[in-house]
Structure 1
């Protein structure tokens, strides 16, 4: 049985002007591994040509041989870790994409999802374009190649003015690195410095690992061009209302990262505090579903005045695949990842904190696991509102019919997961916890209100378009 979590499409990292660019990109990708575990790759530039190494698998496995870095020379590099939301999980879709065309060589790494990808692809194929991958990222390459603009910056602007959706992009040529973020700013992207070198990363935790200084976040709609003369910032794209993804705070970003102007760990703790205010229950202990539920559980325990305990222990050494017995061990998929601490749970009224319920199958197994370990009562608290709609902006979520909260009431979900009580953080509490001010976060997965209209809007909430 699959241990289901929503999964982020990918993470990107780039550095310009450092003699160990490829090695530092490897470390940056290592810090961003939580954003994608299917494949990874690095492209470097020595000022004359681009070199690449990429494969299926985890960063440490793909780049486990030091000799690989000898084949990635130069002072500039970009890298990518991937979880597929658009395109199959196969080698040909491993990023960064690198191509040679009439104006030289270019590599692209992309985090996000383009909602009008199929329409543009159909147009390009009608004019003779041949696609080598099944990713929407390749569309941007074709738009660059067919642009009539002269400069790289203008060709990028021309291409991005055609696409709609979520994108954080890193481009690398022989002499330049360019970063771009979509006008809504769905996904995080930050800028840093390491000595005289410029660094771009999906999250600030990647800057921390290489001891780079966090400078600022790249703004929605901003294009940053970095070359031997330094950094140039452009804002050529049409201004729209920002809509950063609030689920980055709930689950995706690493808790030690700084995104959208806030520390993820502190925001998650505040989710827990607010959850305790909204859904107090008489209990003996509070336990998280590790690891993402830990900060919220700490906040809940502090606000409720209850002991925080690690009642579930996560096995951090589970590989990406394992042989599952047919009938010999029930609930094997959850048991291999989580194990209850019986002495902590026995005869206790337990509050279990998790970040979300998607299909409900995993929550049901966790509740039964805690109850079988001797808990008298099991009260489930979720540090986000019900996830009722799929995401089309770079998160792999099921279709709407597979999301349990799209067709069941909270009481029906409680009965299904066999909890004594169930409480979700309200949408108002969520927004209050992030201290939105004037920032209108994207919360389409909770509300169904999508910031970007779809080419097939009527079908979007029910169907997987891509």
Structure 2
């Protein structure tokens, strides 16, 4: 899916490991798909914190020399794609500050839905902001808190913010992780073996654990705060009563297929979505073709259920930056052509079912269909493994304004005509929920406009 619906970031925290910053680096590398705009790591050696962050991919921001300067047994890291903020280096994370209790770094995946209200209140009290990030609000709330220790200040701070957040904090010698009561964004806890006994890792996805050799323990529970101190097992405090509503788009698109998210394997669920899609939207065709890479598991499921052969007839160039990084539609159009190409010898004269995970504006889907028809496809039938995206997300996903969401304005036949498909079918809301399992509560506000937390209107 190349049409500008994007996760905000990945977060990681490593505690009690002699190569904490290296572990954070490799973890961020494994979660690069969650944000390509900027990357950063803060480490702590027990006395002071060290921070490096910059625009670019993880491999562009860091090298061996830079990582060697990030000393200590604690490290927190972040990759960014801006949702609420700017794209300047000032808006890269970790957010770092010195205050009366010492030093602190924060990394954040999500969005505070009351960010403008809280910021205006802080400005009225004399706060000076350096960034556009809602995360900076939390630094000020913690610094201004009347509580006497860092734990109580963090609790005091998170009780004043609303919305979606998977947060990791560190100071000179401790690390903290907290998740909002809805558990919108994923956050998992793992164990790392190290020279100093058990170390711990907290990350947005379990793919990070696989790369660094960590073992999965469990998910951080919605509303839970974990405290990491030297020589102790992580301590848990249930700060908020849980009200789980996990982002279902993590399963549709955001997470890596080899990750376990909200306790479930992503690849298996995506294949099941494809099977459901085939049952709900059958069509006669010669081949099922995915839009790589996001459409592959669902296309496999569609092919298995329908009995129509699967074919990788669209090739992706992985050395082109993701299309949403560029601001203009003209550049987006060019990047689609640079990124995807069709195999003419395979497609010519064939009826093609092309499977993708979503349609946002519709412009990318139209280009893909034109590309397939130019390659000689007799018919192109588009199938989408998520329901129509009709509403923007306020919980940590970069979505266009409502007016730019094609499904907010038009019905499915009109969209099919716009993207020049011979037919168009989406998985139903019920079909998606059944594919993902009814044992969990999900946030589906981007499909139905039913917001768990109403966004502020200022």
In 2 relative to 1, CA 326–207 (structure 1 residues): closer, same or farther, beyond 3 Å? Answer: closer
**Which residue of structure 1 aligns with residue 447 of structure 2?**
446
> Does the C-alpha gap of structure 1 residues 331 and 152 become closer, same or farther in structure 2, counting only changes over 3 Å?
closer
Q: CA deviation at 1:233?
A: 3.4
2:3 equivalent to 1:4: yes
CA contact (8 A) 1:3 1:333 kept: no
Compute the displacement of 1:455 (Å): 3.0
The superposition leaves residues 275-322 of structure 1 with CA deviations (integer Å, 9 ceiling, x where unpaired) of: 000001011100000000000000000000011000100000113689
Displacement of 1:323 after TM fit? 11
Residue among 190, 196, 203 paired with 2:188: 190
Cα root mean square deviation, aligned: 1.9
Using the alignment, how far apart are the partners of 2:352 and 2:9 within structure 1? 35
Q: What secondary structure sits across from 1:238 in the alignment?
A: coil
Are the equivalent residues in 2 in contact too, given 1:324–1:332 (CA < 8 A)? no
Taking structure 1 as reference, are residues 339 and 174 closer, same or farther at Cα in structure 2, changes over 3 Å only? Answer: same
Instruction: Tell me if structure 1 keeps the 8 A contact 2:2–2:322.
Output: no
Residue pair 1:32, 1:203 contacting (<8 A) in 2 also: yes
Q: Which has the higher contact order (CA 8 A, sep 6+)?
A: 2
| Contact preservation (8 Å) 2:326, 2:332 | no
Q: Shift of the alpha carbon at 1:152?
A: 1.6
SS of the counterpart of 1:170? strand
- With 239-248 and 170-179 compared, the bigger mean Cα shift is at 239-248
Instruction: Indicate the larger mover: 206-215 or 146-155.
Output: 146-155
Change (3 A) 1:323 1:54: closer
Task: Report deviation, 1:38.
Answer: 0.4
| 8 Å Cα contact 1:40/1:55 also seen in 2 | yes
Tell whether 2:76 aligns with 1:74. Answer: no
CA apart distance, 1:232: 3.5
Report the CA distance between 1:5 and its aligned residue: 2.6
Deviation at 1:325, TM superposition (A): 13
Task: For residue 94 of structure 1, report the CA deviation from its aligned partner.
Answer: 0.8
217, 226, 230: which one aligns with 1:228: 230
Question: Whole-Å Cα distance in 1 between the matches of residues 263 and 45 of structure 2?
Answer: 34
Structure-1 residue corresponding to 2:134? 136
Answer yes or no: is the 8 Å Cα contact 1:190–1:204 preserved in 2: yes
Asked if 2 retains the 8 angstrom alpha-carbon contact of 1:224 and 1:234, the reply is yes
- Counterpart of 2:289 in 1: which secondary structure? strand
CA distance in 2: counterparts of 1:87 and 1:148, whole angstroms: 28
Tell me, yes or no, if the aligned pair for 2:190 and 2:202 is still in contact at 8 Å: yes
TM-score normalised by the chain length of structure 2: 0.96
Scaled by the length of structure 1, the TM-score of the pair is: 0.94
Q: Which of 92, 95, 120 in structure 2 is aligned with 1:94?
A: 92
Q: Aligned runs of 1:66-215 on 2, under 5 Å? A: 66-195=64-193, 196-215=198-217
1:461 maps to none
2:285 touches 2:352 (CA, 8 Å); kept in 1?
A: yes
* SS of residue paired to 1:231: coil
* 3-state DSSP of counterpart to 2:207: helix
Contact 1:11 1:29 in 2 (8 A): yes
In structure 1, runs of 5+ residues without a counterpart are 457-464
- Partner of 1:139, secondary structure, is helix
Partner of 1:387: 389
SS at match of 2:131: coil
User: For residue 280 of structure 1, what is the aligned residue in structure 2?
Assistant: 282
Check if 1:301 corresponds to 2:303.
yes
SS for the counterpart of 1:234 is strand
Q: How many residues align?
A: 453
Residues 222 and 233, structure 1, Cα contact 8 Å, conserved in 2: no
Alpha-carbon distance in structure 2 between the residues aligned to 1:238 and 1:305: 48
